[in-house]
Amino acid sequence: MAFENSSGETDLSVETSGKPVAENRRGFVKKLAVTALALGAGGLTVQFGRFMTPNVLYEAAKVFKVGKLGDFPIGSRIVIEGRGVEIVRGKEGIHAISLVCTHLGCLVNPVKNDPEVGYACPCHGSRFAPTGKVLGGAAPTDLPWYEMYMDHMGTLVVDASTVNHKRTKLVV
Amino acid sequence: MERAFLRKLIALCVICGLASFALLGLVAFRDGKREWKDYQQEYQSLLLEKIDRVANPVFFQRVTSMKPEIKQVMLDGLGRVDRCTTCHLGIEDSLFTGAKQPLTTHPDPRLLESHPVEKFGCTICHGGKGLATTYDGATHQSNAHWPDPMVEKGFMQSRCGYCHNNYAAIEADELVLGQKLFKDLHCSGCHKVDPGDGVMAPVLTAFADKGTGSFDFTHIDGDHSRQNWVLEHFKNPQKVTPGSPMRIYAMNDTQLKALTTYVLSLTERVFTRDYYPNEKFVAEE
């Protein structure tokens, strides 16, 4: 202990007397401190940013398979149970339309006996054209179309996280 | 003396503070590196090699812009959430039959056709931790500290019995043999499986629902897994459970395995109706 203490004292004296050495050392320590602080602050920022955008949410996957093309004959309208979308296939192509009413989120019913009306909401009487355009009732906006694609195995996949604003049909 | 010592102490404190702050930063950066991200990048590059840009430009574009993300299957009817497909990306994909783990295709695509991943997930048959996204976390190896680690390959048929009653209809040969052995050796004289069976020995109606933790592995030499416990127990009941009145039954390895598979299929778990098969249960006379 005594040896350590005495060496400490000599160190201090060197620091005060030998100016260039002290300046060098001080600069180095400063750099080290700034680096450590920057690293820590950067890490904190990164972690906080990641916290705000979680890796995954506790909800059903937004991208889901709906079946093979053969399951959807031309002229058919098939509701995908549990997903709130309807797959409509016409001569020009196929598209996925949301069945969630834009008013308060009830599931709308497909209407099949009226060429003007495609969907009707059982809750507050909103009506939508077959394209999803709102015709009347409480709903403020049209029913969105979702992006759809066919994967390399020929399975049709709906991506409900991306709205198809242009309402382009998937040509198959 | 005093002052010099204090200075040293302060210097030490400052150094330690800075070091821990630097470590905090390092940990934060390292945390972003996960094994599933590497697998997803590997999958992306493999898939891009296999598919044709001209034949399906929309899909090619999607694969090109793929970002690493956790994939999960929510299974409300089974009360599970499976994230296995985060790494096992090619599991339903016939293009990946030759790929190595974890990207390879399921060894029995016929099973996946009747049990699509989007409806059944993985852990209902394979066991393991569905929520985990690391190799160890998902308990790929037997683990005495997790109630339901992954089922070993040789005992996979035990999981068929969770929902299926008619073993012959699904060609589950191990379960057929195991059930026959259970009957032929008159196990139900003491062990209750069905109403009316004996109750002198431990009831087995929910044997498969017992977690790994409720088994005593003190006298087990090998793996601390449920299947190994049952196997060893059949070989020598007194050794595994000292004082047990159960005697040794002469069985060969195939029979031992079949009977183990059968008792590990005995469950009282209930799933929603749409998970149960349509085949009729034919009582054997």
Q: Which is it for strands A145-150 and A155-163: parallel, antiparallel or unpaired?
A: antiparallel
Q: Which is it for strands A109-110 and A119-120: parallel, antiparallel or unpaired?
A: antiparallel
* pLDDT tops 60 at residue B110: yes
- Cβ–Cβ < 8 Å for B129, B138: yes
The answer to whether the CB atoms of A36 and B18 lie below 8 A apart is: yes
Cα-based distances in Å from B42 to A64, B48, B49, B90, B100: 22, 10, 11, 11, 11
Of the two residues A1 and A113, the one the predictor is more confident about is: A113
- Residue B92: which residues within 8 A CB-CB, separation 6 or more? A153, B105, B106, B109, B112, B116, B117
The answer on B167 and B205 residing in a single domain is: yes
Can you tell me the mean pLDDT for B173-187? Answer: 95
* pLDDT tops 80 at residue A36: yes
The answer to whether the CB atoms of B81 and A58 lie below 8 A apart is: yes
Nearest CA in chain B to A60: B74
Last residue of a domain, one of B114, B140, B166: B140
Domains: count for chain B: 2
Can you tell me the mean pLDDT for B94-120? Answer: 90
Q: What residues in B contact A8, CB-CB < 8 Å?
A: 4-5, 7-8
Q: What is the pLDDT of residue B77?
A: 84
DSSP B143-184: -TTSSSPPPPGGGTHHHHTTT---TTTTT-HHHHHHHHHHHH
The answer on B135 and B228 residing in a single domain is: no
User: What three-state secondary structure class fits A158?
Assistant: strand
The answer to whether the CB atoms of A43 and B18 lie below 8 A apart is: no
- Residue B266: which residues within 8 A CB-CB, separation 6 or more? B161, B193, B204, B205, B206, B207, B208
Can you tell me the mean pLDDT for B72-100? Answer: 91
Q: What residues in B contact A164, CB-CB < 8 Å?
A: none
Averaged pLDDT of chain A: 85
* pLDDT tops 70 at residue B17: yes
- Cβ–Cβ < 8 Å for B212, B226: yes
Q: What is the pLDDT of residue B279?
A: 65
Averaged pLDDT of chain B: 90
Q: Mark out chain B residues that contact chain A at CB-CB < 8 A.
A: 1, 4-5, 7-8, 14, 18-19, 21-22, 24-29, 31-32, 47, 50-51, 56, 58-59, 62, 69-74, 81, 83, 92-95, 118
Partner-chain residue, chosen from A40, A64, A153, that has the shortest CB–CB distance to B94: A153
- Cβ–Cβ < 8 Å for B72, A61: yes
CATH number for the domain harbouring residue B173: 2.60.40.420
Q: What is the pLDDT of residues A106-155, one digit of tens each?
A: 999 999 888 899 999 999 999 999 999 999 999 999 999 999 999 888 89
The answer on B250 and B186 residing in a single domain is: yes
Partner-chain residue, chosen from A8, A40, A150, that has the shortest CB–CB distance to B21: A40
* pLDDT tops 90 at residue B264: yes
Nearest CA in chain A to B85: A61
Q: What is the pLDDT of residue B280?
A: 58
Partner-chain residue, chosen from B4, B58, B69, that has the shortest CB–CB distance to A149: B58
User: What is the ipTM for the molecules in this complex?
Assistant: 0.72
Q: What is the pLDDT of residue B182?
A: 95
Cα-based distances in Å from B81 to B122, B131, B191: 9, 6, 34
Partner-chain residue, chosen from A9, A42, A149, that has the shortest CB–CB distance to B59: A149
At residue B285 the predicted structure's pLDDT band, cuts being 50, 70 and 90, is very low
Phi, psi of A117 (to 5 degrees): -100, 130
* pLDDT tops 90 at residue B45: yes
The domain locations on chain A are 2-52, 63-163
Residue where the block lists tokens 């393991």: B128
User: Domain range holding B119?
Assistant: 35-62+69-140
Q: What is the pLDDT of residues B241-252, one digit of tens each?
A: 999 999 999 999
At residue A7 the predicted structure's pLDDT band, cuts being 50, 70 and 90, is very low
The answer to whether the CB atoms of B58 and A150 lie below 8 A apart is: yes
Nearest CA in chain A to B47: A152
Q: What residues in A contact B93, CB-CB < 8 Å?
A: 152-153
The answer to whether the CB atoms of A36 and B21 lie below 8 A apart is: yes
- On whether residue B5 sits in a domain, the answer given is no
* Shortest Cα–Cα distance, B49 to chain A (Å): 12
Of the two residues A15 and B205, the one the predictor is more confident about is: B205
- On whether residue B114 sits in a domain, the answer given is yes
The answer on B82 and B163 residing in a single domain is: no
Q: What is the pLDDT of residue A14?
A: 45
The answer on B167 and B91 residing in a single domain is: no
* CA–CA dist B9, B5 (Å, integer): 6
Q: What is the pLDDT of residues B118-177, one digit of tens each?
A: 889 999 999 999 999 999 999 998 888 888 899 988 999 999 999 998 899 899 999 999
The answer on B267 and B164 residing in a single domain is: yes
Can you tell me the mean pLDDT for A68-97? Answer: 92
- On whether residue B28 sits in a domain, the answer given is no
Of the two residues A153 and B255, the one the predictor is more confident about is: B255
Can you tell me the mean pLDDT for B227-251? Answer: 93
* CA–CA dist A56, B131 (Å, integer): 11
- On whether residue B16 sits in a domain, the answer given is no
Partner-chain residue, chosen from B29, B74, B95, that has the shortest CB–CB distance to A60: B74
Partner-chain residue, chosen from B1, B7, B118, that has the shortest CB–CB distance to A64: B118
The answer on B132 and B236 residing in a single domain is: no
Give me the percent of chain A exceeding a pLDDT of 90. 45
Which helix (H) or strand (E) covers residue B64, if one does? helix B57-64
Can you tell me the mean pLDDT for B276-285? Answer: 61
Q: What is the pLDDT of residue B215?
A: 92
* pLDDT tops 60 at residue A3: no
Q: What is the pLDDT of residue B24?
A: 84
* CA–CA dist B39, B91 (Å, integer): 13
Can you tell me the mean pLDDT for B110-118? Answer: 90
Partner-chain residue, chosen from A43, A55, A152, that has the shortest CB–CB distance to B51: A152
CATH class, range A63-163: mainly beta
Q: What is the pLDDT of residue B133?
A: 92
pTM above 0.90, yes or no: no
Q: What is the pLDDT of residue A20?
A: 61
- On whether residue B24 sits in a domain, the answer given is no
* Shortest Cα–Cα distance, B202 to chain A (Å): 39
* Shortest Cα–Cα distance, B159 to chain A (Å): 25
The answer on B250 and B161 residing in a single domain is: yes
Q: What residues in A contact B7, CB-CB < 8 Å?
A: 8, 12
User: What three-state secondary structure class fits A110?
Assistant: strand
DSSP B71-99: --EEETTTTEEE-GGGT-TTTT-GGGTTS
* CA–CA dist B89, B285 (Å, integer): 46
